Structure 1
Amino acid sequence: MKKHIRALGIDDSYFVPHIPGEVDLIGVVLRAPNYLEGMLRRKIGVDALDSTDSIIDMLNSKYGRQIKVVFLQGITFGGFNIVDIERIWREREVPVIVISRKNPDLRAIEYALRKHFEDWEYRMNLLRKHKIEMIQNGEFEIYVQRAGISMDEARRVISSFTLRGAIPEPLRVAHLIASALHFGESKGKP
């Protein structure tokens, strides 16, 4: 990939778990390493399965043809609204990199899915479809899932968008905006 590519970073806003409703899905378009070029907002259902469609819709926006990689702040949004990253890669041919600060506890997630969802097996299969790999990003360990991109290339792209800390700028900025939309000011780390 070129040096100053554009990335779409996506995070969700605050929501109340297991309460039906909608949550904002915020996308920011940044040119490496940190030049903000645009913002997108979509609504998704809490615990629904519409986040993949919303992300594909973001990639169909006026920014879509310019975006060379999608960063997701975790693979679930709005509770257990799980993203099918393979489908995004297949339909849009844009690589997807999922980043988490902590290694997801798949046993605890499976327990929660079994308890709350009739389609728990389908959701669990989406989570397990792509291996979770720990990598070093500077001095920090992060956990990555990916589609349409090699791990070596994913490391380079993550590093090119990380100015400080563990999280690439597109995700950090999406998180700041998503939390400010709900709370009136940014809160917490992505």
Structure 2
Amino acid sequence: MRLHVEKRAIRALGIAESFRKNSTNAVLAGVVMRSDLVIDGVAYSTTTVRGDDATDAVIGLYRALDRNDINVIMLGGVVISMYNIIDLDRLYSTLSLPIIGVTFEESEGLEEHIMRAFQGEKAEMKLEAYRRLGSREKVILKTGHHVYIRCAGTNIRVAKRALNKFLLQGAVPEPIRVARLLARAMLKYAR
């Protein structure tokens, strides 16, 4: 599916997570938002902290919404829940929707952290999944703030336009910002 950001109205599914380091699971929240910034749907899922189920959790969250009008998925990070890595290419090929993974901080990379957190075959598997993500691209948004993005099913130029379409202030697009708030609230509620 091609992302037509020039259309007046598009819908994004923003996904973000929240977890406690000593927990076994993280809360994943998804927010469907129209480009006029009206919230149009919400769904939840969970991922395993330090696990390998993030891609399946995103797919499950999308399918739980049972929507055919979502134009793009915006992820608040692609390495979530303590190195639970989202496979962007698998996500795109499964859902046939453009995927934009957004991070907000500069980083030297996570390879050393992964090697310290895992041993043996598990470490090698995590490193391979991380390397498949490829490098991030720095993008300057209409607010003057910058983010780092990885894409599947679209290119950097179109992804930047999509992010700007959902940006009110700062660097965090509204679908991701609201999803993050909902994930944190659900985690706090679940205590």
The TM-score with structure 2 as length reference comes to 0.88
Report the Cα offset of residue 20 of structure 1.
Answer: 5.6
Residue 149 of structure 2 aligns with which residue? 144
Report the Cα offset of residue 36 of structure 1.
Answer: 0.2
For 1:101 and 1:86, the matched residues in 2 are separated by 21
Q: CA-to-partner distance for each residue in 1:52-96, whole Å, 9 max, x for gaps?
A: 001111222244322111111111221111100110001111111
Report if aligned partners of 1:10, 1:27 keep a CA contact under 8 Å in 2. yes
Residue 135 of structure 2 aligns with which residue? 131
For 1:158 and 1:94, the matched residues in 2 are separated by 15
Residue 85 of structure 2 aligns with which residue? 82
Correspondence 1:7 to 2:12:
yes
Q: Which moved more, 1:42-51 or 1:19-28?
A: 19-28
Q: CA-to-partner distance for each residue in 1:151-183, whole Å, 9 max, x for gaps?
A: 111111011010111111000101111122234
The correspondence of residues 153-172 of structure 1 with structure 2, limited to 5 A, is 153-172=158-177
Counterpart of 2:20, as a letter, is: F
Structural RMSD (CA): 1.6
Structure 1 unaligned blocks of 5 or more: 185-190
For 1:65 and 1:104, the matched residues in 2 are separated by 35
Q: CA-to-partner distance for each residue in 1:140-160, whole Å, 9 max, x for gaps?
A: 011111111011111110110
Correspondence 1:71 to 2:44:
no
Correspondence 1:35 to 2:38:
yes
SS in structure 1 opposite 2:125?
helix
Report if aligned partners of 2:33, 2:39 keep a CA contact under 8 Å in 1. yes
Structure 2 unaligned blocks of 5 or more: none
Residue 117 of structure 2 aligns with which residue? 116
Counterpart of 2:150, as a letter, is: Q
For 2:36 and 2:154, the matched residues in 1 are separated by 19
Q: Which moved more, 1:130-139 or 1:114-123?
A: 114-123
Distance 1:21 1:9, change over 3 A: same
SS in structure 2 opposite 1:60?
helix
For 2:170 and 2:32, the matched residues in 1 are separated by 20
Report if aligned partners of 2:42, 2:65 keep a CA contact under 8 Å in 1. no
SS in structure 2 opposite 1:27?
strand
Report the Cα offset of residue 120 of structure 1.
Answer: 2.2
- Percent of pairs identical after alignment? 29
| Paired positions, count | 180
> Which of 175, 178, 182 is the aligned partner of 2:183?
178
For 2:57 and 2:19, the matched residues in 1 are separated by 17
Report if aligned partners of 1:59, 1:65 keep a CA contact under 8 Å in 2. no
